Structure 1
Amino acid sequence: MSKSSAERRRQRAAEMRAQREREARRRKALTTVGITAAAVVVIGGVGFAGYMEYQRRNIDGVQEFDGLTNDHVTEEVKYEQSPPVGGDHSSYWQNCGVYTAPVKHIHAVHSLEHGAVWVNYSPDLPADQVERLEALYTPGSYVLVSPYEGEMEAPIVLSAWGHQLPLESPDDSRLDAFVQLYEQGEQTLEPGAACSGAIDFTAAEIDQMIADQAEGGGEEAPTEDGEAPAQDEEVPAQE
């Protein structure tokens, strides 16, 4: 074998080794980039999910109230907030559902204790907007919808125990966000307690039954103080 042929083979072998080394470095670089990109995606995904959770739990405009008592009483309560967001209340809750007339505050506040969201609206709210609010309730849900005749900060006010959000319109995206967050949310004092099986009368109906009973006629009123026969300990909690 000539010296020139051996030299060419050595040169060719060196070139092939160099090429393999370049390919190895290239594959390593691509692997590093891929791992880095995947890490960025994962971290970004976690960060985005965390951001969305933060947004979900921090609804703009929600007012919070601390130090609310929750004793059972048999007389009307003068609440500091209008509509009420919590406080002492009747031992009988208002059944969740849709009401076309105002309900007794002392019953609705008990529903808040059970994790209900109370949707109050001005009696002069347009019918199409009322329908939008009423659609928030579905059978079995912990949502109470009723008109409110007292003073309110806005035409629509959403209340959960210790939390409240005034809204100008049911088209506000915070409406659904509030219900999703606070319906049987972390603020619930009695998780799993029922929102049915107790009071399903409006305030006017209760007052009329009490008046009729006092006169010795008409339907039997819930009780002389406007209560219904079912109480916390007598109504099983819903699952």
Structure 2
Amino acid sequence: MAKKKTAEERRRRAAEMRAQRLKEERRKKILTISGVSLAAALVLGLLAFAIFMEIRSRNISGVEEYTVGSYAHVDVGQRVDYEQSPPVGGDHWAYWQNCGVYSEALTNEFAVHSLEHGAVWITYEPDLPQDEIDALDSLYSPGDYLVVSPYEGEMDAPIVASSWGRQVTAETADDQDLTRFVQRYERGTDVPEPGASCSGGVAETATEIDAALAEGEQVGGEGMSDESAEDTGGAEGTEESEETGGSEDTEGSEGSENTEDGSTDEE
């Protein structure tokens, strides 16, 4: 009788263990399925958001596109007659304008070089209301490939945003087409030198550059300060351009043709 009870107890315990094991396996399976489903939902959500943002950024009205022909380096001080105002590309000087916010007009030949690196240049009429200027300045964050400055030449609207080969106009800083243009073309890849630096170049305004040229001073190298723009790389930028700009200046001063991939600068 005792043996029979012992055998039944073993069978009962074995059955309980099997049931517990099956229960644990079901729990693990449910957790695995739930985790996979959650991950899939997250991926799909991110993908949907990316598609939405891409479609939204493409939905920009009024964008003018231009074919940029030559984009060689020319001698510093040699002025370029650009077809567009502000320019959207073309020949330029060997140094680029540091990305950032400026309160005075810039030198076209430096700013165009920044466009070549994938920057967007937002220009506005000097008499634009201060609240509008503040709103434009706020579009820039440190590290962005964005230049914001007043523009003293002719423009088709109070505000113009330019990237390499493209341009859009705006009446006010809150124009959604302006915002989408920046989202779409900032750090542009369809430029001659995508990913090249937007710091370590020049931070001086046009007035400072013109004064330096008039005095026969070196522009883009020693003797130039880096205090004109906000968040543009500071003194480090000047040192970098001194170290890397030598061979570029030589090529630029000879007006050399670009290589097949369009690269003429150190990235």
Distance 1:232 1:47, change over 3 A: farther
Counterparts in 2 of 1:233 and 1:129: CA distance versus 1, 3 Å: farther
**Cα distance in 1 for residues equivalent to 2:177 and 2:49:** 20
Quote how far apart the aligned CAs of 1:221 are. Answer: 3.8
Residue 205 (str. 1) matches residue 208 (str. 2) = yes
CA distance in 1, matches of 2:99, 2:247: 18
Distance in 1 between the 2:49 and 2:121 partners? 31
Post-superposition Cα deviations, 1:146-173, rounded to whole Å, max 9, x if no partner, equal: 1001100000000000000010001111
Distance across 2 between alignment mates of 1:111 and 1:223: 14
RMSD: 2.8
Matched, 1:53 2:67: no
Aligned residue type for 1:159: S
2:84 aligned with 1:70, yes or no? no
1:103 aligns with 2:106: yes
Contact 1:69 1:88 in 2 (8 A): yes
Q: How does 1:6-21 map to 2 (within 5 A)?
A: none
Q: Once the two structures are aligned, what percentage of the paired residues are identical?
A: 52
Structure 1: tracts of 5 or more residues without a match: 1-45, 215-219
Greater shift in the superposed pair: 125-134 or 179-188: 179-188
- The alpha carbon displacement at 1:52 in A equals 6.1
Question: Does the CA contact (< 8 Å) of 2:169 and 2:178 recur in 1?
Answer: no
User: Which of the residues 103, 122, 126 maps onto 1:119?
Assistant: 122
Tell me the distance in 2 between the aligned counterparts of 1:195 and 1:132. Answer: 22
Match of 2:245 in 1: 231
Change (3 A) 1:233 1:119: farther
TM-superposition CA deviations, 1:164-197 (whole Å, max 9, x none):
0010001111121111100012322211100011
Query: Which has the greater radius of gyration?
Result: 1
Deviation at 1:233, TM superposition (A): 6.2
Structure 1 CA distance for aligned equivalents of residues 201 and 49 of structure 2: 43
The equivalent of 1:92 in structure 2 is: 95
Deviation of residue 70 (structure 1)?
Answer: 1.0
Task: Give the structure-1-normalised TM-score.
Answer: 0.70
**What SS does the aligned partner of 1:164 have?**
strand
SS in 1 for 2:191: coil
Cα deviation digits, residues 211-239 of structure 1 (max 9, x gap)? 3x34xxxxx54279xx97453867863xx
Q: How does 1:174-185 map to 2 (within 5 A)?
A: 174-185=177-188
1:151 is matched with: 154
Work out the CA distance in 2 between the residues paired with 1:232 and 1:123.
Answer: 35
**How many positions carry a matched residue from both structures?**
185
Counterpart amino acid of residue 87 in structure 1 = G
